[in-house]
Structure formats: C-alpha cells, structure tokens
Copies of this chain bind each other. A is one copy, B any other.
Amino acid sequence: MTPSRKKPNINCSPVDTSHFFGFAVSVDCVIFGFDENVLKVLLIKSDLPTFQDKWSLLGDLVELDEDLDSASYRVLKDRTGLENVYLEQVHTFSSVGRHPAGRVVSTAYFSLVNARHHQLRQLANELHWHPVADIQEMAFDHMEILNTCLAALQKKIQEEPIIFNLLENKFSLRELQYLYEAILGVKLDRRNFRKKLFTTGLLVDVDEMEENVPHRPGKLYTFNHGRYSQVKKKTFVGIDF
C-alpha cells in the first residue's frame, strides 16, 4: 500500500526526482601538522575573485563515481604526496550560499601528518603551513570548518591515541607533551603526564636518545600499534557530564 502523502519520499516511493540532482559535492581537508612546537594547518591561496588572496583549505569537487573518503584521500595524496595518512570525516557543511560556483555541499575531514617528513610538492608553491592560532579569516566558510575540525581533534585525542600520527616514528616524551599542550591549549604537569602515558602501555622504549639537542637528551619512544589494537575494544561505560 502506498502512503497517501502529498510529497512522496525518496526512501519509500518511486517518483520523479530529477530536479533534485543539481548539487555538487566537495571535500575539504583540514591537514594538521606539528612543527616548532606549534600546531599548524596546510593552506592554499584562493584565486577565486570572490576570495582574492584569502587562504583556503585543500579541497576538491567529488567525482560522480567517487565516494567521499576516496575523494579526500585523493586530495591528500595529490597535495602532500603522502599515502596511508590518518583521515577522519567530521561534518558536512551546507549553507545555501556557501560557494560562489553554485550549490556545493562540502564534507570536512581532518588529517594528521608529520609536517617535517613530507616535502610539499613543488608544483604547489602557494601551499603553506600556518600556525592554527594565528589564523583570523579564510575564504568560504573555511574558518568555521577549521574551528569545527580543531574541536573534533581536541576531543578525539583525549579518547584515542591518534596523536602519534603527528610525530616522527621516534619521539621524546617532551615532544609528545608539547604536542598535547599545543592542541589542547593547556599546560600539563610533566611528572603526571609521563606517569599517565606510561600506564597506557602504548610507549615502546627504543633504547635510543635524542641527538643534537642543547641540553640533556631524553629517551626516545615509539608508538605500540599492536598494543593499541588489542586495548581498543575495551568499551568504556560511564556518565560524565
């Protein structure tokens, strides 16, 4: 039996829906990196007349035969040359007037890369790392997207140890602590921080020391991926407002 609604619904009734197929879909990637003890984001200059010389996120239109995850991986690989990077869908932005080219809804992803180890592609010479804290305005609704993704990152690193994606393979506890502090915008107690991180069992002592630091060198650690996969399943139950 067909429901007698005036406006049939795409999920239940076959109807003419052709006039709805006028959207473009894009992805915008908030690519975070950590360098000089500062959280940075990779931006590119916009050449659109509307946003002359404003900075914008790296994004692209999604092809008609491509899904969102693939599109954001493609953007990331094309721009940074990196593969296998951490990438997470955050939110879809859809204000009617958000893009001058027409009706474009955009799905935001954040990505975590090692800012030092990757060479920006030569051909992308308008591509730059910007300290997140310094950014005041951007093209499109990208300031809102950046803020949303930063909040998502802050929340996520307190729930899962994705933060290691921002560091080199080997890192000192100081680097790790400074990174937490940069993202969360807080100061942490060094002794308590170390205690807490060691109890997670996620740090592997690689029996090496920092080199070329102008002070007593610290031990280097690496992230215990295997341990994390095991522990990941434990479901937390609590009510914490």
Contact = CB atoms under 8 A, between A and B. Distances in A.
A125 interface: yes
B67 A96 contact: yes
B46 A241 contact: no
B238 A158 contact: yes
B64 A239 contact: no
A36 interface: no
Interface stretch (A3-11, A110-118, A206-214): A3-11
A10 B26 contact: yes
Contact of A25 (B12, B23, B46, B61): B23
A126 B59 contact: no
A52 to B, nearest CB: 11
A80 interface: no
Contacts of A161: 241
Contacts of A171: none
Interface string A145-186: 000000000000111110000000000000000001000101
Contacts of A196: 239
Contacts of A1: 125-126
Interface in A221-240: 228, 231, 236-240
Copies of the polypeptide in the assembly: 2
A64 B54 CA distance: 27
A159 B61 contact: no
Interface in A79-108: 89, 91-92, 94-96, 99, 101-105, 107
Contact of A123 (B4, B47, B104): B4
Interface in A190-209: 196-197, 200, 202
A164 to B, nearest CB: 11
Given A14-B49, A21-B22, A92-B68, A59 B9 contact: yes
Interface of A: 1-5, 7, 9-14, 17, 19-26, 28, 44-49, 56-69, 78, 89, 91-92, 94-96, 99, 101-105, 107, 123-126, 139-140, 157-161, 180, 184, 186, 196-197, 200, 202, 228, 231, 236-241
9 contacts: A9-B58, A13-B47, A13-B48, A25-B105, A67-B96, A92-B92, A159-B241, A160-B241, A236-B240
